[in-house]
Amino acid sequence: MRPIGSTVQDAQRRRARSSAAYRAEQRRLAQFESIARLVIQQRAARGLSQKELADRVGTSHSAISRLESGRHKTSVETLQRVAEALGVRLVLGFESGPREHPRRNLVVA
């Protein structure tokens, strides 16, 4: 045990083991967390702060903070504006077939 207690990941694992509702919420948020990690990665690669990205997107710092928290829904329109502000393309699609050899239908938004 660490001086200040357990890590966030350890606490999450303990809670997930004992709560079906917590596990369900983790699954629901997983997609938003994945998007958040991509945005953070792209922003950091460009050396931008959340405030600088917000200015480029034309939104508030708190809106970027919420997006990057991975705990909130976002719209395709917002993601498109973020992509443009980062100088990247937003790619959306559907996947079918087996996980080992999926068929992907993608569009560039």
- Express each pLDDT in 42-85 by its tens digit: 999 999 999 999 999 999 999 999 999 999 999 999 999 999 99
- Position 35 in a domain: yes
- Position 1 in a domain: no
CATH of the domain at 95: 1.10.260.40
- Position 100 in a domain: yes
- Position 2 in a domain: no
**Burial profile 67-83: b = 16 or more Cβ within 10 angstroms, e = fewer:** bbebeeeeeeeebebbb
Q: Which residues contact 16 (CB under 8 A, 6 or more apart)?
A: 22, 23, 26
Provide the 8-state DSSP code for 5: B
> The whole model's pTM is what?
0.77
- Position 17 in a domain: yes
- Position 58 in a domain: yes
Total domains in the chain come to: 1
